[in-house]
Amino acid sequence: MANDKRINVLMVSLPFQGHINPFLKLAKRLISKGVHVTIATTENARHRLPKMPNSQSSEIHLEFFSDGLSFDFDRSDQNSLINSLYTKGSKNLSTLITNLTKAQEFSCMIVNPFVPWAIDVANEHGIPCAMLWIQASAVFSIYYRYFKNTGDDFQNLEDPNEKVQLPGLPTFKVRDLPTLMLPSSPDHFKRLLMHLYQSLDKVKWVFGTSFYEAEEEIVKSMVSLTPIYPIGPLVSPFLLGETETNVFSVDLWNAEYSCIEWLDNKPNSSVIYVSFGSLIVLSNKNIENIATALKNSNKPFLWVLNPGAENKEGGADELAFEILKETKGRGLVVKWCQQERVLMHPSVACFVSHCGWNSTLETLVAGVPVIACPEWTDQPTNAVLVSNVFKTGVNAKSEEDGAINAQELQRCIWEVMDGPNAEEIKNRAMQMKDLARKALQDGGSSDKHINQFIHDMIIHNLHP
């Protein structure tokens, strides 16, 4: 992939852990093929992401622009953050690009889908634009057909039990669709996604973080509309069995390493791993229902109750103490862990997960069966993918109010660990693990897509 004229790529992302980590993983892949990468994210990332690679010691060059808000502004106010990024962040990014292009030309700008205004900025500067879709290709397809109005696929989004049939996908119910398109979703999310899909004609490439073999029918169904090219799985080298040198990742929490030693003392395929990611705040009711299911399973368990799981109803620490007391030492509760190392540990039998997309990809690569307990955004859709497309786990049905049902969760634990289909689910998980690794190897489906992208940029450099 060598070329006399250096290929420079600018990536633009928000600094949230689930957003920027896929960009860091893609940067690693591009750098390994001789591409120079600059990542631009908002100024507050300097302080919030302490483990981000240092631009002086890493092959990634980091740049920052202001989102237009003061340092101490509460950015959990999503509407204000989105509005400020549109009005001020876009101008600040444009100024940054003007300054950067005095020293180098960019062959491409790869943007996060949740900063659609960055597509307009790239267009204004005459830089070819790509988008890294950081959710499932299935979710890209669903949103596309909804926001581009490609047919009468969505008759009644008010009824959670209404069936939806889309090309390349199994039959869904409205409750399984991404929540950001439902009537209950805040308008600012819908406006953001509408802008994104209206801007797709300015995007030359759309890349997916999964791999072709995982979502083959879905990818095929998009070819005649806006093709999506899977270039993943974009996960850490450790999960892929590669040597970890110059690892690029961001972790907003301090992992507790005691859990690995604890797992070392457990039999193979015996431990239930439970984690709902870095954003979801579990209610006391959900915590108690999960605890009941774990208690009644009579299986060892490792449960991540992260620092965010402390709400107005009481502290997670007190609940964790009660859980451990009731399960008589069968379990371990920690505030955070190195999930990738946990998933690859031989003692882990299954993963009770919220089905965030990064976690879902990690389970595919690790070959771990999943018990899906989704809450919002793309998670309900990912849960259907796990159970009906990947067939690597089961989807735990929630109660009418959306709460986790203790008996249902207990049933799902039995199904993936001891039930008549447990062996089939485990074998399928191992098949997906093998396919995921092959996709990124030389000549694999994802490797071919990355090579084609670099070839396209070389041609653009020669004939701008």
In a domain, 253, yes or no: no
pLDDT band at 256 (very low <50, low <70, confident <90, very high): low
Can you give the pLDDT at residue 16?
84
Say if residue 320 is in the same domain as residue 425.
yes
48 and 131 in one domain?
yes
| pLDDT of 49 above 60 | no
**Which residue would you say has higher pLDDT here, 462 or 11?**
11
Q: Is residue 136 in some structural domain?
A: yes
pLDDT confidence band for 77 (50 / 70 / 90): confident
Domain count, the chain: 2
1 in any annotated domain: no
| Residue 448: pLDDT over 90 | yes
At 147 the pLDDT is: 94
The single-letter DSSP state of residue 387 is I
Residue 420 has pLDDT above 70, yes or no: yes
pLDDT at residue 78 in the model:
85
Instruction: Assess whether pLDDT exceeds 90 at residue 50.
Output: no
Q: Name which of 1-5, 281-285, 305-309 the model is least confident about.
A: 1-5
E strands in 103-164? 108-111, 129-133, 163-164
Quick one: pLDDT at residue 54?
47
Quick one: which of 57, 61, 62 has its CA closest to 46? 62
* Residues in contact with 340: Cβ distance below 8 Å, sequence separation at least 6, in sequence order: 235, 236, 238, 239, 362, 366
Q: Is the dihedral of CA 89, 131, 205, 24 positive or negative?
A: positive
Give me the mean pLDDT over the 69-83 stretch: 88
**Which of these ranges, 145-149, 207-211, 431-435, has the smallest mean pLDDT?**
145-149
Structure confidence at residue 255 (pLDDT) = 59
Helix 445-462 with 422-440: angle, nearest 10 deg: 30
Instruction: Decide: 111 and 129 in contact? Cβ < 8 Å.
Output: yes
Q: Are residues 329 and 210 in the same domain?
A: no
Return the SS3 of 109. Answer: strand
Q: Report the half-sphere exposure of 371 (CA within 13 A, side-chain side).
A: 29
Alpha carbons 211 and 435: distance in angstroms, whole number: 9
Q: Is the same domain home to 50 and 97?
A: yes
Q: What is the CA radius of gyration of the chain?
A: 22
Q: What is the mean pLDDT of residues 292-301?
A: 94
Same domain, 221 and 284: no
pLDDT at 340 > cutoff 60: yes
| Residue 15 shares a structural domain with residue 66 | yes
The CATH number linked to 97 is: 3.40.50.2000
Question: Residue 220: pLDDT above 60?
Answer: yes
Give CA–CA dist 392/406, Å, rounded: 21
Over the stretch 154-187, which tens digit does the pLDDT of each residue have?
Answer: 888 999 999 999 999 999 999 999 999 999 998 9
In sequence order, which residues have a C-beta less than 8 Å from that of residue 373 and are 6 or more positions away? Answer: 276, 352, 353, 354, 355, 383, 396, 398, 404, 409
- CA 236, distance to chain mean position in Å, is 13
Note down the domain range covering 104.
8-248+438-462
Tokens coding 120: 């307009």
Instruction: For residues 137 and 222, state if they share a domain.
Output: yes
Share of the chain above pLDDT 70, in %: 89
Report whether pLDDT(257) > 80.
no
Q: Which two tokens stand for residue 439?
A: 């996709």
Q: Is 30 within the bounds of a domain?
A: yes
Residue 241 placed within a domain: yes
Task: Examine residue 406 and state whether it is found in any structural domain, yes or no.
Answer: yes
Which parts of 161-257 fold into alpha helices (H)?
187-198, 216-221
pLDDT mean over 288-302:
94
Task: Clarify whether residues 343 and 284 are in a common domain.
Answer: yes
Contacts of 273 by beta carbon, 8 Å cutoff, 6+ apart = 301, 302, 342, 343, 348, 350, 351, 352, 368
pLDDT, one tens digit per residue, over 241-255 is 876 544 455 554 455
Same domain for 378 and 450? no
Distance CA 231, CA 359 (A): 17
- Same-domain pairing of 287 and 138: no
CA–CA separation, 316 and 311 (whole Å): 8
User: Is the model's pLDDT at 260 over the cut of 60?
Assistant: yes
Give percent of the chain above pLDDT 90: 70
Within a domain: 2: no
Q: What's the mean pLDDT in 2-7?
A: 60
**Across 345-440, where does the E strand assignment appear?**
348-353, 370-372, 393-395
Q: How confident is the model at residue 277 (pLDDT cuts 50, 70, 90)?
A: confident
Does residue 341 contact residue 256 with C-beta atoms inside 8 Å? no
pLDDT of residue 292: 92
Q: Does residue 279 belong to any structural domain of this protein?
A: yes
Whether residue 56 sits in one domain with residue 87: yes
- If you average pLDDT over every residue of the chain, what do you get? 89
Q: Is the pLDDT of residue 106 over 60?
A: yes
Greater confidence, 411 or 249?
A: 411
What is the band of 47 on the pLDDT scale with cuts at 50, 70, 90? low
CA–CA gap between residue 215 and residue 227 (Å, rounded): 13
DSSP 418: T
Position 307 scores a pLDDT of 57
Same structural domain for residues 91 and 236? yes
User: What is the pLDDT at residue 308?
Assistant: 58
Instruction: Pick the closest to residue 48 from 28, 27, 29, 20 (CA basis).
Output: 20
